[in-house]
Structure 1
Amino acid sequence: MSSSPSVQLYSVRDAIAEDLSGSVARLAEIGFTKVEPYGFAERPTEIAAALTAAGVTAPSGHSAVIDADDSQRIFDAAKEVGLDTVIDPFIPSDRWQTADDVKAIAERVNVLAEQAAGHGLRFGYHNHQWEFTNKVDGRPVYDLFVELLSPEVVLELDTFWATVGGADTPAVLRSLGDRVQFLHIKDGKVSGDIATALPSSESALIVPEALAAAFENQTPAGQGDVDVKAILAAAPHALRVVEFDAYSGDVFQGIAASYAWLAENDTEATA
């Protein structure tokens, strides 16, 4: 693999709550040279220092910008952390029900992409399963959403959640081409509670017990139900971002296993 992957820091959120710098350093020891911070606008100076100390960069980061009262503050924080792309990770299922819902979200995203460009940044969106399971006139709302987006808007496809949502994820990636700049790489069981239980409409971090238990079935890349090899081959240009929503073992070991699997199996990546 010629392009080194990134890792979503949310995967190690418990360790980060204890020791931000130490956690990032552990990921660097695994071999990561890139990370994807979450909630970076809350403590940009600390995050920037942790990245610098560990010798890693953050091409992308997650922040709830779509619903933010002060998006400029978030984009300023992104610059401080050294991000190139800010990605909103979550708009809940109940706001993806109708064509008007989709239009409202797309219009907001387009405005934010323009604002981000004024800061020298790109802006994008990260999916879960409901953007594929929720349909308008028989079409996944994700399809409608993409049609309404400005060309500048970046997509980060969570390949696990797209698969859970019933998408043919490699086909989706081929159809979207270079609009998808980032892939969340995760694996595990794609049926059962993981497919039907939803997080709180207030936050992706608040989940029912059934979904929390289903998260525990996530596995390192190549060990679950997702055709990760076909996904990688369908988007050779996109940055791979390893992520676990949860893991039943030591999550650093799970991340290391995904890193090793990508090093061996991701022959399509380009620098």
Structure 2
Amino acid sequence: MIGSPPALQLYSVREQLATGRMPVLRRIAAFGYGAVEPYDVRTDPERLRADLDEAGLAVCAVHAKALGEDADVLLRGTQAVGGGTVIVSSMPRERFADAEGIAALAHELNDAAAKAADYGLRLGYHNHEFELASLVGGRTGLEVLEDALDPAVILEVDTYWAAVGGQDVPELLGRLGDRVRYLHVKDGPVTRQDPQTAVGSGRMPVAEILAACPSAEWHVVELDSCATDMLTAVGDSLAWLAGHDLAKPVRAGAGT
């Protein structure tokens, strides 16, 4: 189950990054994370890449809505930070209201994947709860979308939001199959509004979820919000994963 180094979605530490990037990146690396998933490659991606290099952090993917007129600048930014995959982080929930809307979205994502391929990049889609909270023709919106996607488009399943959407996450991952190449690993009370917690201290069956998705290339820790100190929770998350043989910290002695 342990392949790629543990990764962190940088959105988790957005507030800390705003006060000074290098100290935060160094602390992420000191915890034992080996990679990050940036969410802003529009603002000076070359400088971000240099800072990541200095901290010893790779890029597992980038979150960016590389669609329409924004596509080229975001795809170039993804290249600049060294990401091989660009993941569409969200779309309006009304796009999943019916089968026609989902089909139109799939067409847009397929076109975006072809454009990303021109840059040597792979395109993915990341879910929230609404793609899974209501059924379209008896199936979840995410599964309907998957059926209409070009095989080149991969999925990053946010396991927490899938659970908030009412899904048994291991069963969902089994249905989605090999298209899932990234997992967002997070924990908490499994509610939409309450703060999340460090991985291992909430209600998510994390070990069962990770075991249910052997196709995942990366496990990416993320906390959208946290009632405690965010950086402490980020470190505690990796320590818990490492303590349960679900992650291998990059630095010796880290994550323990």
Name the TM-score, length of structure 2 as normaliser.
0.91
Q: Which of 245, 251, 254 pairs up with 2:224?
A: 245
Provide the residue aligned with 1:201 in structure 2: none
Q: Which of 236, 243, 251 pairs up with 1:257?
A: 236
Which one is further off, 38-47 or 178-187? 38-47
Which one is further off, 8-17 or 167-176? 167-176
**Residues 182 and 220 of structure 2 are in contact (CA less than 8 Å); yes or no, is this contact kept in structure 1?**
yes
**Residues 232 and 266 of structure 1 are in contact (CA less than 8 Å); yes or no, is this contact kept in structure 2?**
no
Amino acid at match of 1:75: L
Q: 1:262 to 1:112 in 2, by over 3 A?
A: same
Provide the residue aligned with 1:148 in structure 2: 148
**Residues 59 and 83 of structure 2 are in contact (CA less than 8 Å); yes or no, is this contact kept in structure 1?**
yes
Amino acid at match of 2:202: G
Alpha-carbon distance, 1:21 to partner: 2.1
**Residues 93 and 131 of structure 2 are in contact (CA less than 8 Å); yes or no, is this contact kept in structure 1?**
yes
Name the TM-score, length of structure 1 as normaliser.
0.87
Q: Secondary structure at the match of 2:202?
A: coil
Amino acid at match of 1:60: A
- 1:236 matched to 2:214? The reply is yes
**Residues 232 and 268 of structure 1 are in contact (CA less than 8 Å); yes or no, is this contact kept in structure 2?**
no
**Aligned partners of 1:70 and 1:189: how far apart in 2?**
36
- 1:173 matched to 2:153? The reply is no
Provide the residue aligned with 1:121 in structure 2: 121
Q: Secondary structure at the match of 2:224?
A: coil
- Consecutive unaligned residues of structure 1, counting only runs of 5 or more, are 195-210
Q: 1:139 to 1:122 in 2, by over 3 A?
A: same
**Aligned partners of 1:237 and 1:21: how far apart in 2?**
33
Amino acid at match of 1:90: S
Q: 1:266 to 1:146 in 2, by over 3 A?
A: farther
- 1:94 matched to 2:80? The reply is no
1:9-158 alignment runs, 5 A limit: 9-66=10-67, 68-158=68-158
**Aligned partners of 2:228 and 2:247: how far apart in 1?**
29
- 1:220 matched to 2:211? The reply is no
**Aligned partners of 1:234 and 1:268: how far apart in 2?**
15
Q: Secondary structure at the match of 1:35?
A: strand
Alpha-carbon distance, 1:173 to partner: 1.3
**Aligned partners of 1:263 and 1:134: how far apart in 2?**
35
**Aligned partners of 2:199 and 2:158: how far apart in 1?**
13
**Aligned partners of 1:179 and 1:240: how far apart in 2?**
15
Q: 1:41-79, CA deviations, whole angstroms, 9 ceiling, x for partnerless residues?
A: 22211211111110111020101223x413122111111
Q: Secondary structure at the match of 2:36?
A: coil
**Aligned partners of 2:36 and 2:103: how far apart in 1?**
31
Amino acid at match of 1:32: Y
Alpha-carbon distance, 1:174 to partner: 1.8
**Aligned partners of 1:59 and 1:254: how far apart in 2?**
21
Alpha-carbon distance, 1:35 to partner: 0.4
Amino acid at match of 2:154: V
Alpha-carbon distance, 1:267 to partner: 4.5
Amino acid at match of 1:39: D
Amino acid at match of 1:61: V
Q: Secondary structure at the match of 2:58?
A: coil
**Residues 33 and 56 of structure 1 are in contact (CA less than 8 Å); yes or no, is this contact kept in structure 2?**
yes
Q: 1:177 to 1:140 in 2, by over 3 A?
A: closer
Task: Flag as ranges the 4+ runs of structure 1 deviating above 3 A.
Answer: 266-269
Amino acid at match of 2:140: P
Fraction of identical pairs, as percent? 39
Q: 1:36 to 1:268 in 2, by over 3 A?
A: closer
Alpha-carbon distance, 1:180 to partner: 0.8
Q: Secondary structure at the match of 2:197?
A: coil
**Residues 173 and 212 of structure 2 are in contact (CA less than 8 Å); yes or no, is this contact kept in structure 1?**
yes
Amino acid at match of 1:252: L
**Residues 113 and 123 of structure 1 are in contact (CA less than 8 Å); yes or no, is this contact kept in structure 2?**
yes
Q: Secondary structure at the match of 1:155?
A: strand
**Aligned partners of 1:125 and 1:243: how far apart in 2?**
16
**Residues 233 and 268 of structure 1 are in contact (CA less than 8 Å); yes or no, is this contact kept in structure 2?**
no
**Residues 8 and 241 of structure 1 are in contact (CA less than 8 Å); yes or no, is this contact kept in structure 2?**
yes
Provide the residue aligned with 2:254 in structure 1: none
